[in-house]
Amino acid sequence: MLFPQTFIEDLKRQADIVRIVQDYVPLKKAGANWRAPCPFHKETKPSFNVNPSKEMFFCFGCHKGGTVFNFIMEMERISFPEAIKLVAEKSGVALPAMIDDNRFETHRRDSDLVIELNQWALQWWEDQLQSRAATSVRKYLKDRGVTEETTKTFHLGFAPDSWEALSTHLRQKGATQEQLEKSGLVVKREDGSGAYDRFRGRLIFPVFDAQGKPIAFGGRTLDPEGEPKYLNSPETPAYTKGRHLYGLHLSKDEIRRQSFAILVEGYLDLIVPYQNGVRNIVASLGTALTPEQVKLVGRFARKVLVNYDGDRAGVQAAKRAIETILAEDIEVKVLVLPDNADPDDFIRKHGVSEYNRRRGEAQPHIQFVIDQAVRDRSLNSPADKAAAVEETLPFVRAVQNRIQKREYFDIVMDALRVQREQRRELWQQLRGASTSTAAVQKVFAQEIRPTVAEEKLLGLLVANDELRNIILPKLEPGDFEGLATAAIFRALKKLGEDEKEITYEALSEATADNRTATEILPRILITEPAESFDESLADAERCLNSIRLERLNQKVDEVTQQIADAIRLGDEDLILGLQRKHLEVTKQRDSVDALLPRGHSTGLRS
């Protein structure tokens, strides 16, 4: 009994031979290779080489060499099946059930056959792209800025709008109906009366494996009413979804040379940058990035720059990709282009130099995640802050290195202005089971408590109609939104606008779903007002100014953090704008502070 050969080959591709060898030998980069003193014989000058692109090692001294499996067999003195198990364990790959060797031979023959049929189809489709029927397709490529040379480099083709043109051609070359169906190039008719061509009237994008063999195809319709817009090959003996990266056969050497890969989504997102000299680039084939794809790119570089579309769908896809990449202990940065542009559109409009400039300013993944988490949220609202924390923590949890994990955690906590006590609880959660919604909300539920100023002002307002008529019109939503007592302030304003009587029953009904309001309403309503109206009015104005001062203090802290973030990004225009905003908010704070008596405190908790 043996492991399936397809599994062994996939494992060899997914296993990072450099990382595995480094468990035994201290390798150093030397051009395309990694070099060290040979572990198999004594030597003073390093002659042991590992080449990750060729997935092999060789010593020029003792002449031992081979794959990652041969290396493990030599070092551990174990059999080939045992070496497979150990490499799988080191690579985090689950082992399949063992099979008879005959099944592997059958699968290998099927895979080779599919690749041969794909090669025939590819050549025929390339020829069809030069036909009169493909005039609109050639115009489309020209309008998208794709040159003839690039068209040939990527072997783009055209599938005529015919039900059997390709299958007829392949049968003429000797393919049987069974072989055609196994290849995925045709679709069996539901009534069992034969099959028809899968790709019809479409621009064809061949997909190659890392060794440059055609394993699958993607077809784009140019008909505005055509559905689906993109049609892809099904899984076949030669192709498994989520295990390959578009363009890797062309870009792997440049990825290794530059030590990082740019990850994009679609075919043209890769083709246009590649044509313009951006050669360390791969595409995820329009599917959610998989761990197998990350392992594949990780064989060539340990840094990835994610450059998906800037629209909402692209941002969500980028966030999912970040988590997957971090789980493989690979460094991630994110590039979001202006106006939600994709790389293809941006380069055609602004040029590759501007693209490269912005690429150099790509955000660390954690800053991208923070920016997305605080978008359309106010950190002055405990509920919004809890939601932002909940959104960002999975990206901290995904970091494998413990020291880096703590650094990213602190960056998130600083950016979201989380208090020390809450940080301690959240860090314990992060190290434990899970940072669930309920657990995070529980942490922040403990944080929001009403201040003395809030309770005193509310007590004065509910006790005196005349005072309420003076103070409530001065209250703006920004004065109380995000406070523990916000629901009560909103209820008071609404009851006042509706000219309804302020009673415990009315306030309770208006704030029934707010636990804090339910707790403190009796305390507020039972408060005895001062005998002097002037004294009550002065107290109310002091409380209101105290609340406003605390909010302005928070605003100053928020802008200060934004300035620190802008400095980290090196954005001079943003820094200047935020500094002006900081000066403006500081002046507002100081003017409110001047209205309060010396020795006042805005942050007292009840």
Given a cut of 80, whether residue 238 has pLDDT beyond it is: yes
Query: What is the reported pLDDT for 429?
Result: 85
CA dist list (Å): 319 to 236, 302, 316, 371 = 30, 18, 5, 12
Q: What is the CA radius of gyration of the chain?
A: 32
pLDDT tens digits for range 204-217: 999 999 879 999 99
- Say if 606 falls within a structural domain: no
Residue 87 belongs to some domain of the structure: yes
Is the pLDDT at 605 greater than 60? The verdict is: no
Expressed as residue numbers, the domain containing 151 is 101-232
Final residue of a structural domain among 411, 445, 479: 445
Instruction: Please identify which residue in the block is written with the tokens 């000058």.
Output: 45
Do residues 417 and 373 touch, judged by C-beta distance below 8 A? no
Give the residue carrying structure tokens 């202006």: 338
Domain stops at, among 361, 390, 413: 361
What SS3 string covers 464-478?
Answer: CHHHHHHHHHHCCHH
Lowest-pLDDT choice from 68-82, 222-236, 422-436: 422-436
Q: What percent of the chain is modeled with pLDDT above 90?
A: 46
Most confident region among 89-103, 177-191, 483-497 by mean pLDDT: 177-191
Residue 268 shares a structural domain with residue 326: yes
The CATH number of the domain holding residue 35 is: 3.90.580.10
Asked if 228 and 282 sit in the same domain, the reply is: no
- In a domain? residue 392: yes
pLDDT at 433 > cutoff 70: no
Judgement on whether residues 213 and 276 belong to the same structural domain of the protein:
no
Q: Has residue 410 been placed in a domain?
A: yes
Which domain CATH number covers 168? 3.90.980.10
438 and 393 within one domain: yes
The more confidently predicted of residues 181 and 514 is: 181
pLDDT of residue 568: 67
At 401, list the tokens.
């290195």
- Assess whether 178 and 277 both reside in one domain: no
Q: Please tell me the total count of domains within the chain.
A: 5
- Decide if 464 is inside a domain: yes
Please check whether residues 180 and 291 belong to one and the same domain.
no
Is 157 in the same domain as 224?
A: yes
- Number of other residues whose CB lies within 10 A of the CB of residue 245: 28
Domain boundary among 65, 91, 117: 91
* Same domain for 15 and 80: yes
CATH number for the domain harbouring residue 475: 1.10.860.10
Same domain, residue pair 398 and 483:
no
Same domain, 456 and 389: no
d(C-alpha 192, C-alpha 176), whole Å:
16
Instruction: Kindly state whether residue 603 falls inside one of the protein's structural domains.
Output: no
Task: State the Cα–Cα distance between residues 381 and 441, nearest whole angstrom.
Answer: 12
Where does the pLDDT of residue 528 fall: very low under 50, low under 70, confident under 90, or very high at 90 and above?
A: confident
* 121-147 average pLDDT score: 97
* 458 and 325 both lie in a single domain: no
pLDDT tops 90 at residue 256:
no
Condensed to tens digits (0 to 9), the pLDDT of residues 442-501 reads 777 655 678 888 888 888 888 888 888 898 888 888 788 777 788 888 888 888 888 888
User: What is residue 5's predicted lDDT score, i.e. its pLDDT?
Assistant: 80
